[in-house]
Amino acid sequence: MIARNVIIIGSGPAGLTCAIYSARAGLDPIVIAGDNPGGQLVKTDIIENYPGFETISGADLMMKMLKHTESLGIEIIYETVDEISKTKEGFFEAKLSSHRSIVSKTIVIATGATHKRLGIPGEDEFSNRGVSWCATCDGPMCKGKEVAVIGGGNTAVMEAMFLSSFASHVYLIHRRDVLRAEKLTQEKLFLNQKISCVWNSSVVQILGGKSVEKIIIKNNIDGSIGNLEINGIFIAIGTTPSSNFVKNLLALDGEGYIVAEETKTSCDGIFAIGDVVSGSLKQAIYAAGQGALASKQVEKYVNYKL
């Protein structure tokens, strides 16, 4: 049986950085890129905190990373991994969505996370008919319309500011009275005359005809119910880790994120990086740094085992 040195599962900034560093270390990595190469960063409109770029779109940054990866001759497979198991020889077998398998001495998991849903009436019904999880994708369709963004973190604030370039007005609805976003980002938001904050409130229902027309809002302080006539709602309330395929193999935290110490998981030879890891800062530069660290951990592991 011929085993690869390392399989990297995921193609966001964490996975591709790991692939680049691993290739330069002579580890001959293989990347399982998934169905949506580039990860969640592809859907980010503007990035202002990645060193070397005053501003760059997430799609452009990931395209540069992908081209860099390809320039090193790294094999990239555009499939997903359904399961990881251990072979009797002590290697790891990754079973792909095409039903074929790849055997490796090590695995690096960089599968990221997916958007959380509100779980309220109307969310599924109006998905892609006014309900969206990606302002970059659907924002231009809201030109001249009133829209709402749900959430209070960096993503929600950035989505609201991006949408203000198209929409006539944006309502940022948050369940608390304080945002979690970076202070500088908040300051920019509060200066934007096209954005209004709706504090201590939760959306409990989405209504409409052919598309979204109205949302029902509950005040979390006094329980009162109101409504807001809008033409679009963008949900930015966090993420769910893409770790289900290793739930029986690795230690996970209470929310399903992989527990890892300096990229090392509970299973010797498997490493985890990026947004799928418990405690991740969910920043591109942090993910890239973890990718570089993981490549060094893989190199030590492979050389130790030889």
β-sheet bridge partners, residue 149: 172, 234
Is 134 in the active site? yes
- By the 10 Å C-beta count (0-12 exposed, 13-18 middle, 19+ buried), 148 is classed as buried
Among the listed residues 138, 142, 197, 275, the single catalytic one is: 138
- 142 catalytic? Reply is no
Catalytic residue chosen out of the listed positions 18, 60, 82, 137? 137
How many Cβ atoms are within 10 Å of 143's Cβ, its own excluded? 10
Active site residue 138: yes
What residues are labeled active site? 134, 137-138
